[in-house]
Amino acid sequence: MEKTLAKKDFPQWVKKLTSWKIYLPKKDAGGRWNYAEADGEDVLETRQATLPPKTILFPQNEILLEFSKSRKGNAETLEVKEVLPPAEPTVVFGVRPCEAKAAWLLDEVFASEPRDIYYWMRRENTTLVGLACTPPPSDNCFCTSVEGSPHAEEGSDILLTDLGDKYYVRSLTAKGEALINAAKGLFEEAKPEDRKKVKAVHTESEKKIQRELKGARAVSEKLKTMFDSPFWDEEAMSCLRCGICTYICPSCHCFDINDEIIDTTPLRGKRVRTWDTCQFPDFTMHSSGHNPRPDKASRLRQRLLHKFQYFVQVYDKFMCVGCGRCITMCPVGIDIIKVLEKVRDHGA
């Protein structure tokens, strides 16, 4: 389904979606962009939020179950209650196409057996409305180098393209159509000249991407030979071992599960899944005390290998969507493009 929507009607569309919970990028008091709930004054902007919409599909804390112990006389009973995410229909507007593509990558991971019901309940209840990037939201965008594009459709339910005074609205799934049907009167059928214009805008947007990694597939191949290279020690010298690069990454999805006690008498607690990262020393710590990734070099290597070698081997896709967040946010300027270029040219 291809339609157009006058830009001035966008707030109307948001207002009509009364049975959805709505998020879109908003600027906070400190000037940062975040995915926040709609508040009646909603406009779409091509901005990169600090945290990707991963926070909505795969929140940092997810309660899996609750448990409590009770005692009657000498008999102790342990009660375990399943906790599922709230089944509320949700829309995220203004998702960067790379972020939607990251959701599509997470789908691969969480669809493999055993299927992750917590992720899928949220995913199936969430409609992602992408907005093509014109211009790129960051100087460090490099989506076109990792088989993506500023107007990629993977993962989105609707892709919007800014045509000046209106949005070109391309619905990609039934979820997307439901969103359009909820405010039918606002949309017009797309005309052939709109289609032509969209194509031109899309082609133009690709040219505006400022950064490039040539030969990403070759990097994947090369990485297979570099596991034991001293290269990683050199590259990781300035790494601080913090979790920024992975926590703000739209496609990083590693987690930890802990039982968290709320009360001890009587025992009451919850099992919580939280984000975790390969960059922390305790991520791979065995209970024996052995740590197979004992230093920051091996952990930096892991991040790159997961994204550019292992994932490619299993799913034939890069686990990096080229949003450039890790480059922009790294406190010591570790630049994934530069590192991968060095990998590519290593020993040549």
Partner 1 sequence: MAKIDTLKEEARKLLQDGKVKYIIGYGAGSNGWPAAPLFIKQPEDVDKLIWDPTCIHNLVRFLVDEKRRKGKEKPPDKRPVGIFVKGCDSRAIVVLLQEKFIERGDVYILGISCEKAGVVDDAKLAKKLAGKKVITIEVDDENRFVLTTAGGKIEVPVEELLAERCLECRANFPVIYDVLSGEKTKRAVDKPFGSVEKIESLPVEERWAFWKEQIDKCIRCYACRSACPMCYCDECVVDSIQLAVSADTTADEKAGRIKWIQRSAAPSENMIYHLVRAIHLGGRCIDCGECERVCPLDIPLRLLNKKLEKEAKELFDYEVGFDPDLPALISSFRDDDPQDFIR
How many Cβ atoms from other residues are within 10 Å of residue 279's Cβ? 23
Instruction: Point out which residues pair with 267 in neighbouring strands.
Output: 264
Task: Examine residue 137 and say whether the peptide bond preceding it is cis (omega within 30 degrees of 0).
Answer: no
- The window from 115-123, 165-173, 240-248, 311-319 that contacts partner 1 (CB under 8 A) reads 240-248
Give me the residue label for tokens 């005074």: 165
The CA distance from 274 to 144, in Å, is: 31
How many Cβ atoms from other residues are within 10 Å of residue 102's Cβ? 28
Comparing CB distances to partner 1, the nearer of 30 and 40 is: 30
Instruction: Point out which residues pair with 188 in neighbouring strands.
Output: 4
Binding partner 1 (rule: CB under 8 A), the pick from 282, 292, 347, 348 is 282
| 8 A C-beta contact, residue 348 and residue 224 | no
Q: What is the DSSP letter of 316?
A: S
Comparing CB distances to partner 1, the nearer of 16 and 338 is: 338
> Which tokens is 47 given?
């901005």
How many Cβ atoms from other residues are within 10 Å of residue 345's Cβ? 12
Helices (H), 112-191: 117-125, 174-181
Binding partner 1 (rule: CB under 8 A), the pick from 47, 296, 299, 317 is 296
Binding partner 1 (rule: CB under 8 A), the pick from 102, 128, 249, 327 is 327
- The window from 75-83, 99-107, 143-151, 325-333 that contacts partner 1 (CB under 8 A) reads 325-333
Nearest approach, Cβ of 209 to partner 1 (angstroms)?
A: 15
The CA distance from 104 to 257, in Å, is: 23
Site for partner 1 in 115-154 (CB under 8 A): 139-140
Element (H, E) at 291: none
Binding partner 1 (rule: CB under 8 A), the pick from 229, 243, 310, 346 is 243
Site for partner 1 in 57-76 (CB under 8 A): 60-61
- The yes or no reply on residue 237 touching partner 1 (CB under 8 A) is yes
Comparing CB distances to partner 1, the nearer of 19 and 287 is: 287
- The yes or no reply on residue 37 touching partner 1 (CB under 8 A) is no
Element (H, E) at 71: strand 61-72
Comparing CB distances to partner 1, the nearer of 265 and 287 is: 287
- The window from 9-17, 119-127, 311-319, 330-338 that contacts partner 1 (CB under 8 A) reads 330-338
- The yes or no reply on residue 244 touching partner 1 (CB under 8 A) is yes
Nearest approach, Cβ of 329 to partner 1 (angstroms)?
A: 5
- The window from 77-85, 102-110, 159-167, 254-262 that contacts partner 1 (CB under 8 A) reads 254-262
- The yes or no reply on residue 88 touching partner 1 (CB under 8 A) is no
Of 284, 291, 279, nearest in space to 334 by CA: 279
The CA distance from 251 to 309, in Å, is: 15
The CA distance from 322 to 336, in Å, is: 10
Footprint of partner 1 on this chain (CB under 8 A)? 30-32, 50-51, 60-61, 139-140, 234, 237-238, 240-244, 247-248, 256, 258, 260-261, 272, 274-275, 277, 280-282, 285, 287-289, 291, 296, 327-335, 338
